Amino acid sequence: MTSSKENQSTPATAQISRRAVVGAAAAFGLTGGLLGRAGNAYAQSFKGELKILCDAAKRSALQSAVDKFGKLNPDLTIRLNAASVDQLMATVRMQLSSGTAPDVLPVWPGSGVPLSVHQIAPGGFLANLSDQPFAANTPAFARDVIEVGGKLYWFANQPSVIGPIANMRVMKKVGITQQPRTWTEFLATCQKLKDAGVVPLALGTSTQWITQLITYALVATTVYADNSQFPEQMKAGKATFTGSGWEEALTKYMELNQRGFFNPNPNGTSFEESQKMVASEKAAMVVHTAGTVAGLIAAAGHSDFVMWPLPGRDNAAQTRVPVGITNGYGVAESSKNKDAAKAFLRFNNQTEIQEDWARITRVPVFGMPPEKTDPIYVEVMRYVNEGKGALYMDNKWPNPRVQEAHFVGITDLLAGKAKVTDVLGRMDIAYKAA
């Protein structure tokens, strides 16, 4: 159980304190353990139809849970549909407003995207889940991007982290054995890879959401190491992107480009191509989210990968890791089978099912004990558990236009059509337009 003191003292977008994460983990472990033993909590059998919609990347994990839940409820017809994130963003809002939304639907934290909980819950489209057992697991560090008005409307079960994912087989071939711990060391590592004829960093910014990842990995250090209250200051109108650590981060992003550390033509390269480059050992690293690791392993045919924190400065003690909450699941208020939908989410909260999620998605879940953490994440999760995490930046942005300005700004920078100050200026305008 997370103490109330921690809840009050930990701002949602501040650096994530060790106590908050460990507290969340302990809370989850306790609740999950209790739930895991309380098998007869699912003795009630549900009937009718249960429609579930999910992000395509999570289909396998959800399918596994659906199969197991279906066995406990033979009279319940469960229909699982998956779609890309773009499709979900485009269609689910319309389904919600027209009362045709699936019973269980994907929900994102904060307010930065159309399906963010702060955008859809206030309209009364999501059922209140505050009375569900998993409500107690809400991690304190992200409480205000998960909850709305102190109420819980979705089941958020997985964190995500961003960092360079290194193909260790390439690293060993080139003779790199040490993790770079400062910005200068990182540049030296990239140079060594480049000299060996390997692309140091694969980058596929023709897939829009990829554009933001290197920025976030750097901003975690260049902004949050100095000022954990930056989002709150922005909200109060006391800080802007321009003139902040964002400038340092974007300048360093472009330094990587100028030094030739990316593959040629990143703006014409897709996420899939960048992943293929690392899997096929044409490139050594790619800065992606934990959610992409399963695909990378499948493409490479081995799991010899490690995710590191991206050091943003030459003081290693300042290094921070972007950590966020991946999309989870809410229950539509208009659902005709609300009890079954809630039971399905409770079912997913069981220890066994959570372990399935971690195994299938190759993404950590809240409360996973360190010895069970995937070796790929051991180093990066150490930073998170030491309180050196910074919440995903867009979680606290007031509207999706800021993210769009960032996406477009990065592609403009890579195309040489804008300067760092232009991009930050556009982001400031988009932020204030809310």
Partner 1 sequence: MTQGSARVVAADTATPAPRSVWRRAWSSGGIGYGFVLPAMVIYLAVILFPVLQGFRFAFTDWNGLNRQINYVGLANFSRMFGDMQVRSAVGTTLIIAGALVVIKVTLGLLLALIVDRNLKSKHYLRLVFFMPVVLTPIIVSYMWKYMFSNDGTLNTLLNLFGIEGLRWLGDPTLALVSVIIVTSWQSVGLSMVIYLAGLQAIPPELHEAATIDGASTLQRSWYVTLPMLAPATTVCVVIAMIQGLRFFDQIFALTRGGPGYATETLSTMIYRISFQFGEFSYGAAVAVVFSLIVAVIVLPVMYFLRKQEVAVG
The nearer residue to partner 1, 240 or 267, going by C-beta atoms, is 267
| Among 61-69, 341-349, 370-378, 412-420, the segment contacting partner 1 (CB under 8 A) | 412-420
Amino acid identity of residue 32, one-letter, is G
Instruction: Mark 27-66 with x for binding to partner 1 (rule: CB under 8 A) and - for no binding.
Output: ----------------------------------------
Decide if 332 contacts 96 (C-beta within 8 A). yes
304 lies in the site for partner 1, by CB under 8 A: no
The nearer residue to partner 1, 200 or 364, going by C-beta atoms, is 200
Amino acid identity of residue 111, one-letter, is S
123 lies in the site for partner 1, by CB under 8 A: yes
Cβ at position 412, least distance to partner 1 in Å: 4
411, 419, 421, 425: which one binds partner 1 (CB under 8 A):
411
Cβ at position 93, least distance to partner 1 in Å: 5
Strand partners, 108: 116
Question: Which two tokens mark 352?
Answer: 């066994």
Residues 255 and 345: their CA atoms lie apart, in Å, by 45
Cβ at position 400, least distance to partner 1 in Å: 5
Residues 290 and 390: their CA atoms lie apart, in Å, by 15
Cβ at position 24, least distance to partner 1 in Å: 30
Q: SS3 for 281?
A: coil
- Interface residues for partner 1 in 174-213 (CB under 8 A)? 205-206, 208
Cβ at position 135, least distance to partner 1 in Å: 24
The nearer residue to partner 1, 273 or 355, going by C-beta atoms, is 273
Residues 38 and 36: their CA atoms lie apart, in Å, by 6
24, 61, 66, 96: which one binds partner 1 (CB under 8 A):
96
Q: SS3 for 82?
A: strand
168 lies in the site for partner 1, by CB under 8 A: no
- Interface residues for partner 1 in 214-273 (CB under 8 A)? 263-270, 273
Decide if 321 contacts 163 (C-beta within 8 A). yes
Instruction: Mark 270-289 with x for binding to partner 1 (rule: CB under 8 A) and - for no binding.
Output: x--x----------------
120, 306, 340, 365: which one binds partner 1 (CB under 8 A):
120
DSSP per residue, 335-402: -S-HHHHHHHHHHHTSHHHHHHHHHHH----TT--GGGS-GGGHHHHHHHHTT-EEE-GGGG-SSHHH
Cβ at position 274, least distance to partner 1 in Å: 10
- Interface residues for partner 1 in 70-89 (CB under 8 A)? 86, 89
Q: Phi-psi category of 367—alpha, beta or left, where left has phi over 0 and alpha has psi -120 to 50?
A: left
Cβ at position 213, least distance to partner 1 in Å: 16
414, 420, 424, 427: which one binds partner 1 (CB under 8 A):
414
114, 133, 295, 398: which one binds partner 1 (CB under 8 A):
114
Decide if 420 contacts 251 (C-beta within 8 A). yes
2 lies in the site for partner 1, by CB under 8 A: no
CA separation, residue 201 to residues 66, 172, 287 (Å)? 38, 16, 8
Residues 426 and 29: their CA atoms lie apart, in Å, by 44
The nearer residue to partner 1, 277 or 290, going by C-beta atoms, is 277
Q: With CB under 8 A, what is the number of residues at the site for partner 1?
A: 36
281, 386, 412, 422: which one binds partner 1 (CB under 8 A):
412
Decide if 253 contacts 413 (C-beta within 8 A). yes
Name, in order, each residue with C-beta under 8 angstroms of 73's C-beta and a sequence gap of 6 or more.
45, 46, 47, 340
Q: Using alpha carbons only, give the angle 241, 287, 206 rounded to the nearest 5 degrees.
A: 80
Decide if 423 contacts 257 (C-beta within 8 A). no
Residues in the site for partner 1, rule: CB under 8 A?
A: 86, 89-91, 93-94, 96-97, 114, 119-120, 123, 125, 205-206, 208, 263-270, 273, 399-401, 404, 408, 411-412, 414-415, 417-418
